[in-house]
Amino acid sequence: GAVVSQHPSRVICKSGTSVKIECRSLDFQATTMFWYRQFPKQSLMLMATSNEGSKATYEQGVEKDKFLINHASLTLSTLTVTSAHPEDSSFYICSASGRQTNQPQHFGDGTRLSIL
């Protein structure tokens, strides 16, 4: 099946640091990639949707200057958490889909971000 690789799996860093998370589709062309945030024992909250070569669409309440998303190719999207603070600590998950909307999204394994 389709594989999405997310890296790193875990990040621990100091407050004020910027952190970049990569999401790669390994065996298919991901025309659309999604970034989710998940709090403990809660559902996934969609943060933004990005289409290859265009600006990401952010959900209401998500700061686009705080969470920078780049989708420069059909196999790679990155999420950069800028000047991270403890409240940004969370589990971030990316997913990717191809052109057909009736196909499932494929998820990365997530990144556990801990800001000290």
Partner 1 sequence: AQSVAQPEDQVNVAEGNPLTVKCTYSVSGNPYLFWYVQYPNRGLQFLLKYITGDNLVKGSYGFEAEFNKSQTSFHLKKPSALVSDSALYFCAVRNQAGTALIFGKGTTLSVSS
> Which of residues 14 and 41 has its CB atom nearest to partner 1 in the complex?
41
> Which of residues 86 and 104 has its CB atom nearest to partner 1 in the complex?
104
> Which of residues 77 and 95 has its CB atom nearest to partner 1 in the complex?
95
Q: Which residues pair with 21 in a beta bridge?
A: 79
> Which of residues 70 and 107 has its CB atom nearest to partner 1 in the complex?
107
User: Strand 111-115 vs strand 10-13: parallel, antiparallel, or unpaired?
Assistant: parallel
Q: Are 95 and 107 in contact (CB under 8 A)?
A: yes
Should residue 60 be labelled a site residue for partner 1 when binding is judged by CB under 8 A?
no
* Stretch 6-45: interaction string toward partner 1, x if CB under 8 A: x-------------------------x-x------xxxx-
Should residue 106 be labelled a site residue for partner 1 when binding is judged by CB under 8 A?
yes
Write the Ramachandran bin of 21: left for phi over 0, alpha for psi from -120 to 50, otherwise beta.
Answer: beta
Torsion of CA 109, 28, 31, 7, to 10 degrees: 30
Tally of CB atoms within 10 A around 101: 7
Q: Which residues contact partner 1 (rule: CB under 8 A)? A: 1, 4, 6, 32, 34, 41-44, 46, 49, 91, 93, 95, 97, 101-102, 104-110, 112
